[in-house]
Structure 1
Amino acid sequence: MPSNTPPGLPASGLSATGSETTLEEDILATRKMAPGGENYRAYVGPPQQYDFMGATQFRLVTSLGLREDHHLVDIGCGSLRAGRLLLQYLMPGRYTGIEPNSWLWQTAVAQEIGQDVLDIKAPRFFDESDLSLAGVADHSSDFIVAQSIYSHVGLDLLQSSLAAASRCLSQQGQFLFTAILADCAGAANKTKGSAYSGWLYPECTLFEEDAITEACQQSGLHVQKLSWYHPRQVWFRAVRDPDMCLTTHMVQQLGTGRPLFDTRFK
């Protein structure tokens, strides 16, 4: 995740012409922007789906057992798309965000979330681009989330990041991450991650499922593909303890998380 501070960001509550706008108008305006644009909501993905992509992560981790006293690491926390929900839910000091583009979460706090939330919930943020989780203690994390991180990396970063996550997970911990597989929509034009090194953004990489499984096994992780809905990628769940693997009955109880009554997702 290379650091990239975009120039010329407008001040909070101002349009490009300098006229005053409301927060609602600012948010609605982002929905017309292209993904990857120089805006804290657009930079992290399709801004039209910003609300959903945060909510679906929150629903997934809470469905899998996240509770307010757990510790969670959000790899690539960006503009706190999921973090704004997790911060409100978790007890103080339980949320850790990993993000080299610190302008993303700082702008979100200044324009939308509010400094009071950080003062009360005392999260930790690490400006880290190598996915090493160097600031996270061994076996300290109940949950680690990496949504749309491995869709931008080569095999080297995939392997090193999985090893770091394995080191940081508690014995009963869960690692939730997404990746683009060959059969995902639009995958045909993506770069093959197994033949690539480093970070690729805003372009995407894809992996074969076997490569992900092998990389997890090399890091001492047991991985399962989930049926949880994602509009462009596939969710995986990795654990250190094989007894923590989901049974068929658990998978059925978890469900697909597919959104209903939303024309954005048909």
Structure 2
Amino acid sequence: MAALLSAGMTPQDHLLDIGCGSLRLGHKAVPFLHPGHYWGTDASLSLMRHGRLTELPDPSRLPEDHLIEDTTFAFPGIPDTITLAIAFGVFTHLPHADLATTLQNLRRFPNLRATLFTTFLSDAPTSTRQPDGVVTHPDRPPYHVSETQVAQTVRNAGFTPTRLPTLLPRGQVLWTAT
């Protein structure tokens, strides 16, 4: 929530939470946003439904059809009203090509101001120990990529990359694509 609020999120925004799981962010964002302004995607519809029923103070503020099972980042059924998107801790566990696919597919949202996402950074062609001790890899989870590669991927998708100074758990780096 702090990252989204720093990015200017207001209750009027329409948020797309990519890889929302059991609504770790959703349980805070849904009460903050106007009803119906939160949309979540994840590979597991059952996990999202469970989170809706057990994590939200008022599940009626989040229509069940706002939780979309999506394993390809195609965002089926998500309306064009989306103004902000976040993928926190998603691309650290997926090959870098999935970030490129996601950003390309987000281009279809005409009102999108910014997408926030996290990565692990390293230029090393082999496993790397991040400052907090987690070991990342170029070829398996948790993945690391170079800062140059992330920035180029964001630019190739038609966005402007910004590496934010925010310190995140496990050494993840927070980015904004605007």
TM-score normalized with structure 1 length: 0.59
> Which residue matches 1:211?
149
Give secondary structure in 2 for the equivalent of 1:73. Answer: strand
Asked whether the 8 Å contact 1:143–1:169 carries over to 2, the reply is no
Asked whether the 8 Å contact 1:221–1:238 carries over to 2, the reply is yes
C-alpha distance 187-168 of structure 1, shift in aligned 2 (>3 A): farther
Alpha-carbon distance in 1 for matches of 2:107, 2:96: 16
1:20-35 matched pairs, under 5 angstroms? none
Unmatched tracts of structure 1, length 5 or more: 1-57, 240-266
> Which residue matches 2:68?
126
Higher strand fraction (1 or 2): 2
The higher radius of gyration belongs to: 1
Root mean square deviation, CA, Å: 2.1
> Which residue matches 1:90?
33
Alpha-carbon distance in 1 for matches of 2:22, 2:151: 30
Unmatched tracts of structure 2, length 5 or more: 123-127
C-alpha distance 59-155 of structure 1, shift in aligned 2 (>3 A): closer
C-alpha distance 136-110 of structure 1, shift in aligned 2 (>3 A): closer
Higher helix fraction (1 or 2): 1
TM-score normalized with structure 2 length: 0.85
Alpha-carbon distance in 2 for matches of 1:132, 1:112: 26
1:62-141 matched pairs, under 5 angstroms? 62-113=5-56, 117-122=58-63, 124-138=66-80, 140-141=81-82
Alpha-carbon distance in 2 for matches of 1:146, 1:95: 14
> Which residue matches 2:83?
142
Q: Which has the higher contact order (CA 8 A, sep 6+)?
A: 2
Give secondary structure in 2 for the equivalent of 1:228. Answer: strand
Asked whether the 8 Å contact 2:53–2:59 carries over to 1, the reply is no
Amino acid at match of 2:120: I
